[in-house]
Amino acid sequence: MVTISFMAPELNSLPKRRLTLRQQDARIAWLLIIPSLVVILGVALWPIVSTLILSFFNSPTGLNQTKTFVGLGNYLDMLQDQTFWETIGRTLYFTVVSVGLEMLLGLAIAQLIHSHPWGWKFLRFALIIPWAVPTIVNGAMWRWIYSADFGALNGLLMQLGLIKHYVPWLSLPDAAMNLVIVADVWHTMPLVALILQAALATQPQELDEAAAVDGANAFQRFWSIRLPLLRPAILVALILRSVDAFRVFDISYIITSGGPAFKTVTITYLTYLNTFSYGKQGTGAALSFLISIFTIIMAIIYIRFLYRPEES
Partner 1 sequence: MRYGKFLNKLLLFLLTIPVLLFIFGPILWLFSASLSTQVELFSVPMHWIPQHPTLQNYLDILFPTLAVSSVPRTFATAILNSLKIASSVTIICILIGSLAAYALVRIPFKFNRAIQLGILGTRMIPEVSLVIPLFILASSLNLINTPIVLIIAYLSFALPFAIWMMAAFFQTVPIELEEAARLDGCSRLGILFRVIMPISIPGLISTAMFVFLLAWDEFFYALIFTSTLAAKTAPVAIAEFIGRYAVNITGMMAGGILAALPPVILGLIFQRYIVSGMTAGAVKG
Partner 2 sequence: MRTFHRISLLIMAFILAVGVVGCQPAATGPVTIHVLTMDQAGLKPAEIDQIARDFEAQNPDIKVVMEYVGYDYVHDKIVTGMAAKPPAYDAAMVDVIWPDEFIKSGYLLDVTSRITPDMKSGIFPAAFNGVTRNGKVYGVPWLMDVKYFMYNQDMLTKAGFNAPPKTWDELVEQAKVIKQKSIAEFPVIWSWNQKEGVVCDFTVLLFGNGGTFLDASGKPAFNNDKGVQVLTWMKKTIDDGLTNPSSVASDENAVEADFMAGKSAFAVNWLFQYSDSNDATKSQIVGKAAFAPMPVFAAGAAAGVKGASVDGSSAFGIMSTTPYPDQVFKFLTYLGSNEVQSKFSAEMLPIWQNDFVGDPLAKLQAASLSNPVTVPAFKGQFPYANERPTVPYYNEASSALQLAIQEALTGVKTPQAALDDAAAKWVQLAAGK
Residues 212-231 within binding reach of partner 1 (CB under 8 A): 229
104 binds partner 1 (CB under 8 A): no
Contact partner at residue 212 from partner 1, partner 2, none, CB < 5 to 8 Å by partner kind:
none
The mark string for 234-273 relative to partner 2 (x by CB under 8 A, - otherwise) is ----------------------xxxxxxx----------x
Shortest distance, CB of residue 230 to partner 2, whole angstroms? 40
Beta carbon nearer to partner 1, 159 or 217: 159
**In this chain, which stretch among 70-78, 85-93, 190-198, 206-214 interacts with partner 1, using CB under 8 A?**
190-198
* 51 lies in the binding site for partner 2 (CB under 8 A): no
20 binds, among partner 2, partner 1, none (CB under 5 to 8 A by kind): none
Q: Please identify which residue in 92, 96, 97, 133 interacts with partner 1, judged by CB under 8 A.
A: 133
As measured in angstroms, the least distance from the Cβ of 155 to partner 2 is 14
Nearest-10 crossing angle of helices 135-145, 152-159: 40
- Residue 43's binding partner among partner 1, partner 2, none (Cβ under 5 to 8 angstroms by kind) is partner 1
In three-state form (DSSP H/G/I as H, E/B as E, the rest C), the secondary structure along the chain is CHHHHHHCHHHHCCCCCCHHHHHHHHHHHHHHHHHHHHHHHHHHHHHHHHHHHHCCEECECCCCCCCEECCCHHHHHHHCCHHHHHHHHHHHHHHHHHHHHHHHHHHHHHHHHHCCCCCHHHHHHHCHHHHHCCHHHHHHHHHHHCCCCCCHHHHHHHHCCCCCCCCCHHHCHHHHHHHHHHHHHHHHHHHHHHHHHHHHHCCCHHHHHHHHHCCCCHHHHHHHHHHHHHHHHHHHHHHHHHHHHHCCCHHHHHHCCCCCCCCCCCHHHHHHHHHHHCCEHHHHHHHHHHHHHHHHHHHHHHHHHHCCCCCC
**Residues 226-255, interacting with partner 1 (CB under 8 A):** 229, 232-233, 236-237, 243, 247, 249-250
Q: Which of 70, 112, 148, 157 touches partner 1 by CB under 8 A? A: 112
Residue 68 binds which entry of partner 2, partner 1, none, CB below 5-8 Å type-dependent: none
Residues 134-163: x where in contact with partner 2 by CB under 8 A, - otherwise, as a string: -------------xxxx-------------
By CB under 8 A, residue 206 contacts partner 1: no
> Rounded to whole angstroms, how far apart are CA atoms 275 and 109?
41
Q: Shortest approach of partner 2 to residue 91 CB, angstroms?
A: 17
